[in-house]
Amino acid sequence: MFGKYKRLWKKSRLKSSYDAVIIGGGLHGISTAYFLAKNYGMTDVAILEKRYIGFGGAGRNTAIVRANQRTKENLRLYDEGLKLWPKLMQELDFNMLFFNCGNLNLAHSEAGMSALRLQVASAQFHGIQSELVNAKQCKELVPVLDISDRLAFPIFGGMYHPPGGTLRPESVLWGIAKGASQKGVQIHQETEVKSLEIKNNKVVSVKTGDGKKIHTPRVLNAAGGYSALIANMAGIRLPVDVLPIQAMVSQPLKPFLDHVVSSGVYHAYANQSLKGEVVTGSHMDPWPGYTTQVTARYIKHQAEALTELMPCLRGVKFMRTWGGLADMTPDMAPIIDGNHPIDGFYIDCGWGYFGFKSAPVTGKYMAKFMATGKCPEILKPFTMKRFAQHRLSGETASPVNYGPWN
Amino acid sequence: MNRLTHLPTLRIQPSKALSLTYNKKRLTGVEGDSVATALYANGIRIFSRSVKYHRPRGLYSLDGESSNCFMAVDGVPNTRTCTTLLKDGMTVNPQNVIGTPEHDWLFFLDYFGWAMPAGFYHRHFHRPYVLWPTFRKWIRKAAGFGNVSKNWEGGIYDELHLNTDVTVIGGGPAGMSAALAAANQGLRIVLIEGRPWLGGFFEYSPEPYTLDIPRYERARELAREIEKHPNIRWFCHTYLMGLYGNHQITAFQKGGEKDYFDERYIEVRSQSVVVATGCIERPLIFEHNERPGVMQVGCAHRLARTYGLLPGTKAVFSVGHDQGLEAALDLHQLGLKIPAVADIRFDGQNPDLVDRLNKSEIRYMRGWVAGKVYGHHQTSKITLRSTEGTREESYDCDVVVASAGHTPVSGPLIMAQAKLRFDLHTGFFLPHRLPGNVHPAGRLWGLTDPHAIECSGMMAGLKAAADCGAADDNRLKDLKEKLKELPGPERGTKLAISPGKPGKQFVCFDEDVTVKNIYQACDMGFDVPELNKRFTAAGTGPGQWGIPGHNLPLVISKYHADSTIPPMPTTIRPPMAPTLMATYAGKRHNIFKRTPAHEWQEKAHAIFRRVGVWKRARYFSKDYSCKTEIETVHQAVGIIDVSTLGKFRLFGPDALKALQRVYIGDMSTVKKGRVKYSAMCNDDGCLIDDGVVTLTAENDYYFTTSTGRAGTTVEWIRYHTRYDGWNFHLVNLTDAYGAINLAGPKARKVLSELTDDDLSNEAFPFTGYREMTLAGKIPARVMRLGFVGELSFEMHVSSSMTGYLWKCLMEAGKPFGIRPFGLEAQNVLRMQKGHVIIGQESEIRTTLHDLGMGGLWYKKPESKTVGAVALKQTKHQKDRLKLVGFKMVEPSDPKRAPKDGSIIVNDTIRGHVCTARYSFILNEAIGLALVEDKYAGIGTQLEIFEDGSDHQRLHAQVVKPPFYDIEGHRIRM
């Protein structure tokens, strides 16, 4: 029905030069390419992806979006990002299954409520819908929650953020890829970048796995979990620890969970996708690594946590679990830089597990950065220089602990 | 329905009836039935409706490979009825239908398949956007299978954590042979099998194993050996969930009538793993290949042989392997009418079987295959087609037994990171590169000959034994020779799709994905299995890859007709079988630490909170302002349990060097009889820990850390001294010692009741450290500290004595009005003194300077103190958040403190309130806040924005902490 089945993104021959080369066929890379073509007319752009697009975090995340961050720097960015989804669906003529079901973040102590209050007050100050709710109101929002004191960490209350929600991660990727391709951007899958050529502190070309040299004055490192390896090719050591993170889904069920529920204390979150699966994730492995293998421990932990918070989930079955990589910076804020320390070399990475919700909006500003050479105001707080100056972002309240060095 | 009751292979007790309620009707099954077979015996043929098109679906397999048999059983949705043993009184209900599976009001959706091509939901519903929420609601309702039962109680979920030498996955002939071979080398074996009994594909087959023994008899013989072998622990009705690194497996066992548990989570660690999971059938793809009445060979055969049920009256077979022919012969013998058997293969059959088919007057058709099934709800007719699609023949029948061949269950190998390769001879994905200590056996190598399978199993068992250091090389060599002489893998059929229209040829039942959908997705660029499955959802349903697993790569390979690229298997992810969260959660241990004075606080009506790994007393009454607790400390004496503090001994010749490395103060000034307060920073100069250090003997230090750092301190110090080769030792004494702080102006009087030592301010001044015996027998380390701002003695005693000391202090303090106080009272008391709690007043971006604690930093470059570089660089840095004290001022109520976490604003956010309380002793609201340095000057007016306060602001003024007892007289009393 409704016409032929055309390729969502075109196949093309790899040329020997481009105006811009984007390393990484994930959401950040593809979004940047899309906005470069759309907003700045820069269509001579190649996306080089080692595997297939969405192999990394873009296809492995659980697609929760929200704009209730802790710091004002992030609030601005994510608020705009959240408002972008409906627009993108129209613009790209692609249904990304945006479900603004609202997020409920649980607190399990007095201190937890205070921490949420800071986020709620900050959001409200910026005109973003977010409110503190007590345990009873949590139960009204999510009737399957157990708010009794049987829990190891009884629920004190939570932060309810109505405009947040979920999407389907791959469809976002496909939709933007389609849009980028229509505007002339070339997507090259199974094309690995092996090295970067830098002359006089300026990017000149990249070399692919099969030995082809591609000349370009601009390179974006948007390789997600592998971005530290790409930066190494430019002689830049990124302060990034890569940690495996796991997620899982249950069998599909009829709707019973209307919001994204998350609990920092239980290291668990869950929401029900439009397909009916309970999508849940857990925290990262406690040690760095580049494996996407899953472990026995985490799915068990997740079941322990979820069945305590929502006892009816005891009768729900897990169907599948998978792992991905989170590129974590020392302050859980991204690293966005360009022309520093190398001209023409741009970096958009270190998103950890926030890469999905931030992708299109960051792509929009990253495109501006790459087209003009000047960092837009909204991205300035994420410069790598902040680490040298000991000015960490306050997005996470306490120091991180990826290993004994933190 | 009449059962066949004379068969030796039966697993049912036909005389023992069990009842069940299906869709509000009472039905009867027999002991040994699965829920599905009981329903089948009662004439139920339509088990469910498919998720997208609401097509009728029936019993297709007996090993849980598709959602066809899903029902809600005893409140659990999406239960695989074909693998669930019937228990008396079960309640079974169909799912995802409006009406009944036979009469589903949503049947019409099947006529709109053309409107739902691959990924259709990406192309529609979002324009105009205002309609999307309505469509979304509709999509949500349509999706999903069963309903969660909100009040489901479940049962007993047990856990078992085992350690063994060899784990064998699969209790068929290969697995049993492997287990026996390894066990006979003296090793301990754990064997798991999914079905409720051992035996695999031997178990129901009357074909000869040797001339005088049928295979089912051989299966029982092996099973008896397994069961009586002292080295083998075997678990039936136990499904593998995952095979992980280091040969760890997880599985779950379903409890039978005699078990005390409903399900049991099993985790096994072993040296070596044998994977003998055998084969499942590869579904044959033809038009309406999932119509009720169409079933797999194993399903039809086991219905009769295991459950005594003939699948129907008249069956047409369309198969691609000898086992299909064997089943046809056997079922024919048992009374099933079989007008025709179509065999995809032109040659390669066992001539003996063909001979027997001819003798039984079954029409045997080489090079033919099922083309299309007719029948509204159930199969009534089948059209067979020659494989090239040029000829057709039709037969009336009520059952179609269809299978394209086999496919090895190689999921466990894929999970173990083995690499598989498509084998042209068998048409299987066979092991190509294996990880260490993982040994496939039997049919995973494509073997079909019973003796070859056993031989391969024994070899795998011996290889696993060799991994455990119990090799028998000679025997292994003999077996290798023997295997060479036995028949190798059979040639498999390559046929993926029978000739016909692709629109109703189903590749994936769970997600209603047809061949046409797969091709559509390929057209759109999703032309490799990994991408295609994501776009079409084939294989992502609750059947977990069972139906489309092997076919999807073949269909895609067919799409690339000219391609030389071999089909690629896709990733299999745990759990292999759908597993209840209740089972994963198991016993749901609630693990936490109690301090040694826990019971005494419980008796004092403490209200506890979980703080990290601990349970700690936060309040001692329902008055959460803690007025009485606070006032007692100010006026009389209070007692608080601080046992959760980290407590460490660090000693050895280089102990001081280690301290200098991690503490920002000068630790060379630490001396006997005194404590020194100091702090640790990270490389950003951020405060991460504080505590006191004392010297107890030469090169022998005792120090405390905050509760949160108790677990990481040893690693922290070791990490930061790792290249120095220093000679020192670290002992974490946190759990060995309890700690009690006695605070208040009358603390000295109370303590002197327990000791004759001189406690006077002159003999034992502030920051003093003494070791003394309390209450005549408690050796104690006593220090005079001032965290809560009143005279206080912190006593560290062995954990076993802590409760007793608490009791002694309470008794001694009675005349002085002693009361226990909790964390909240302590929080207010210390805040009045401007003392910080790490994590409450400090953030990841807060340096020591930002907290106004820069004075603790002592430059000692030779020590390379952690954080010293950052402290130097940030000392005069501008635009940082600084910790300030504030009090509430007009026009706000000076007695009403803002809530913790409120933000400080003007045109933008400038900071936030860390802790703020009404101080009873000062009679005003005070607090600590982190604000931008521009707003940190004493006297600065702050505007505070509380959540939900609209545009109302609270007003405060920056003041210099401490708020209470500014000179610190009271701690030095």
**pLDDT digit string (tens) for B24-68?**
999 999 999 999 999 999 999 999 999 999 999 999 999 999 999
Cα angle A10, A14, A15 (rounded to 5 degrees) comes to: 120
In whole angstroms, give the CA distance from residue A74 to residue A89.
23
How many whole angstroms from its chain centre is CA A266? Answer: 21
What mean pLDDT do residues A316-324 have?
96
Total domains in the fold of chain A:
3
DSSP A135: H
Residues 6+ apart with CB under 8 A from B168: B175, B178, B179, B182, B189, B190, B191, B192, B273, B274, B276, B461, B464
Mean pLDDT across chain A: 95
Concatenated DSSP letters of B245-258: GGGEEEEEEE--TT
- Within B424-550, strands assigned E span 429-433, 438-440, 506-508, 513-514
Choose between A370 and A397: higher pLDDT: A370
DSSP A377: G
Domain membership of residue A80 (yes or no) is no
What H or E segment, with its residue span, contains residue B298? helix B297-305
Residue with tokens 């635009």: B879
Residues A137 and A262 in one domain: no
| pLDDT confidence band for A284 (50 / 70 / 90) | confident
Residue A120 touches chain B, beta carbons under 8 Å: yes
For residue B586, give the 3-state DSSP assignment.
coil
Residue A382 tokens, joined:
């994420």
Let me know if the fold of B646-732 is the same as that of B878-973: no
Q: B173: cis peptide before it, omega within 30°?
A: no
Instruction: Locate the chain A residue with the closest alpha carbon to B142.
Output: A254
Q: Number of CB pairs < 8 Å for A and B?
A: 298
| Closest approach of B401 to chain A, Cα-based (Å) | 28
Q: Do A392 and B540 touch (CB under 8 A)?
A: no
| Residues linked to residue A198 through DSSP beta bridges, in sequence order | A203
Domain B157-280+408-485 has CATH 3.50.50.60: yes
For the domain with range B286-403, which CATH number is right: 3.40.50.720, 3.50.50.60, 3.40.50.300, 3.40.50.150?
Answer: 3.50.50.60
Q: Do A124 and B75 touch (CB under 8 A)?
A: no
DSSP B2: P
Fold classification of B593-643+737-825 (topology level): Gyrase A; domain 2 (3.30.1360)
Residues 6+ apart with CB under 8 A from B447: B453, B456, B488, B489
What mean pLDDT do residues A26-34 have?
98
**pLDDT digit string (tens) for A226-280?**
999 999 999 999 999 999 999 999 999 999 999 999 999 999 999 999 999 999 9
What local confidence, expressed as pLDDT, does residue A5 receive?
Answer: 85
Residue B137 tokens, joined:
């609601």
Alpha-carbon separation of residue A288 from A62, A225, A403, B807 (angstroms): 21, 11, 8, 47
Domain membership of residue A94 (yes or no) is no
- Return the sign of the alpha-carbon dihedral for residues B163, B165, B167, B172: negative
Phi, psi of B926 (to 5 degrees): -135, 165
| Residues linked to residue B674 through DSSP beta bridges, in sequence order | B768
Written out in words, the top-level CATH class of the domain with range B506-565 is: mainly alpha
- Residue A43: give its domain's CATH number: 3.50.50.60
What local confidence, expressed as pLDDT, does residue A129 receive?
Answer: 97
For residue B324, give the 3-state DSSP assignment.
helix
> Does residue B870 contact residue B850 with C-beta atoms inside 8 Å?
no
Residue B43 tokens, joined:
């004439």
What local confidence, expressed as pLDDT, does residue B1 receive?
Answer: 64
For residue B577, give the 3-state DSSP assignment.
coil
For residue B165, give the 3-state DSSP assignment.
strand
> Does residue B296 contact residue B58 with C-beta atoms inside 8 Å?
no
In whole angstroms, give the CA distance from residue B820 to residue B928.
26
Residues A255 and A360 in one domain: no
The parts of chain B modelled with pLDDT lower than 70 are 1, 562-563
What local confidence, expressed as pLDDT, does residue B563 receive?
Answer: 63
Of B369, B407, B363, B410, nearest to B388 (Cα)? B369
Task: Tell me whether residue A13 is exposed, middle or buried, using C-beta atoms within 10 angstroms of its C-beta: 0 to 12, 13 to 18, 19 or more.
Answer: exposed
| Dihedral (Cα; B387, B388, B393, B394), 10-degree rounding | 60
Q: What residues of chain A lie within 8 A of the CB of B132, using their CB?
A: 89, 95, 98
Q: Which residue intervals of A12-101 are DSSP H helices?
A: 27-40, 57-60, 72-92
Alpha-carbon separation of residue B96 from B72, B422, B536 (angstroms): 10, 38, 21
Residues A176 and A43 in one domain: yes
The beta-carbon neighbor of A253 closest among B127, B148, B535 is: B148
Residues A261 and A132 in one domain: no
> Does residue A262 contact residue A103 with C-beta atoms inside 8 Å?
yes
Q: Could you give the ipTM of this predicted complex?
A: 0.95
Does residue A282 register a pLDDT over 70?
A: yes
For the domain with range B13-123, which CATH number is right: 3.40.630.30, 3.10.20.30, 3.10.20.440, 3.40.1350.10?
Answer: 3.10.20.440
For the sheet with A317-328, list strands across it: A131-134, A157-161, A103-107, A260-263, A268-272, A277-284, A241-252, A317-328, B579-580
What local confidence, expressed as pLDDT, does residue B569 receive?
Answer: 86
For residue B184, give the 3-state DSSP assignment.
coil
Q: Point out the domain boundary residue: A143, A162, A181.
A: A162
Residues A254 and A111 in one domain: no
- Which residues in chain A (185-244) have CB-CB distances under 8 A to chain B? none
**pLDDT digit string (tens) for A328-360?**
999 999 999 999 999 999 999 999 999 999 999
Instruction: Locate the chain B residue with the closest alpha carbon to A145.
Output: B150
Residue A339 tokens, joined:
């022309």
- Residue A306: give its domain's CATH number: 3.30.9.10
What H or E segment, with its residue span, contains residue B226? helix B215-228
β-pairing, B909-919 vs B924-932, is antiparallel
What local confidence, expressed as pLDDT, does residue A1 receive?
Answer: 40
Q: Do B719 and A405 touch (CB under 8 A)?
A: yes
How many whole angstroms from its chain centre is CA B486? Answer: 43
Cα angle B874, B879, B883 (rounded to 5 degrees) comes to: 80
Domain membership of residue A2 (yes or no) is no
> Does residue B65 contact residue B545 with C-beta atoms inside 8 Å?
no
What local confidence, expressed as pLDDT, does residue B178 receive?
Answer: 98
Q: What residues of chain B lie within 8 A of the CB of A122, using their CB?
A: 903, 909
Domain that holds residue A174: 20-61+170-240+331-388
| Dihedral (Cα; B714, B718, B719, B722), 10-degree rounding | 180
What are the sequence ranges of the domains in chain B? 13-123, 157-280+408-485, 286-403, 506-565, 593-643+737-825, 646-732, 878-973
Q: What residues of chain B lie within 8 A of the CB of A263, using their CB?
A: none
In whole angstroms, give the CA distance from residue B460 to residue A334.
49
Q: Which residue intervals of B103-152 are DSSP H helices?
A: 120-123, 132-142
> Does residue B329 contact residue B361 with C-beta atoms inside 8 Å?
no
What local confidence, expressed as pLDDT, does residue B568 receive?
Answer: 84
What H or E segment, with its residue span, contains residue B28? strand B25-31
- Which residues in chain B (560-619) have CB-CB distances under 8 A to chain A? 573-575, 578-586, 588, 590, 592, 609-611, 618
In whole angstroms, give the CA distance from residue B203 to residue A284.
44
What H or E segment, with its residue span, contains residue A282? strand A277-284
Which architecture, in CATH terms, is B646-732? 2-Layer Sandwich (3.30)
pTM above 0.90, yes or no: yes
Q: What residues of chain A lie within 8 A of the CB of B912, using their CB?
A: 118, 121
What mean pLDDT do residues A310-319 have?
96
In whole angstroms, give the CA distance from residue B274 to residue B172.
12
Residues B584-597: b if buried by 16+ CB within 10 A, e if exposed: bbbebeeeebebbb
Residues A263 and A253 in one domain: yes
**pLDDT digit string (tens) for B746-780?**
999 999 999 999 999 999 999 999 999 999 999 99
> Does residue A104 contact residue B140 with C-beta atoms inside 8 Å?
no
- Return the sign of the alpha-carbon dihedral for residues B127, B128, B131, B136: positive
| Closest approach of B367 to chain A, Cα-based (Å) | 34
